[in-house]
Amino acid sequence: MQTLENRTYNELAIGERASLSHQVEERDLLLFAAVSGDVNPVHLDEDFAAATPFKGRIAHGMFSGALISAAIACELPGPGTIYIGQELSFLRPVRLGDTVTIELEILEKLPKNRVKIATRVINQDGKQVVDGTATVMAPTEKVSIPRPQAPAVQLG
């Protein structure tokens, strides 16, 4: 069984990196629309999306933001991290079938256990699709736990 293990504020080092990859599927767009209420047809309706500058459906921008959140929560710093803020710039669309890699890099350690993290999303072609910076409160206690399974959700 896989485990989730954090890096405490004291363990973190400037320049430390982590990454997480995800292939974007139909299910992702449908579940994100259901949870967020964002039913913009550019995400859900192929005919509508084909007539846009994107020429097809694209993932919700904040879906990339959610993947960044997952990388921070599960990879670096990991369990116990508290989000304080996030700046995001959407540079290119993320499409169905894309495999995106979320890249994190510790930029700065701040007072009160706060940390600035570069948050980049790169597609399978090596092109950056999202650029950003997160500010988080890093954990102070070491945690290593069995990785919980994501809940199974039926569509329809």
Is 153 part of any domain?
A: no
Cβ–Cβ < 8 Å for 22, 103 = no
Is 156 part of any domain?
A: no
Is 27 part of any domain?
A: yes
pLDDT in tens, 110-147: 999 999 999 999 999 999 999 999 999 999 999 999 99
Which tokens is 107 given? 């930029």
Tell whether pTM > 0.85: yes
Amino acid at 104: L
Is 152 part of any domain?
A: no
Domain count, the chain: 1
Residue 19: other Cβ atoms inside 10 A: 14
Helix (H, G, I), strand (E, B) or coil at 124: coil
Q: How far apart are CA 141 and CA 139, in angstroms?
A: 6
Closest C-alpha to 94, from 60, 67, 131: 60
Cβ–Cβ < 8 Å for 40, 23 = no
- Write out the residue range of the structural domain in which residue 52 sits: 3-141
Is 116 part of any domain?
A: yes
Amino acid at 61: G
CATH at 104: 3.10.129.10
Is 131 part of any domain?
A: yes
pLDDT in tens, 32-83: 999 999 999 999 999 999 999 999 999 999 999 999 999 999 999 999 999 9
- pLDDT of 30 higher than 70: yes
Is 100 part of any domain?
A: yes
Is 77 part of any domain?
A: yes
Which tokens is 118 given? 């570069």
Cβ–Cβ < 8 Å for 29, 43 = yes
Closest C-alpha to 126, from 93, 100, 106: 100
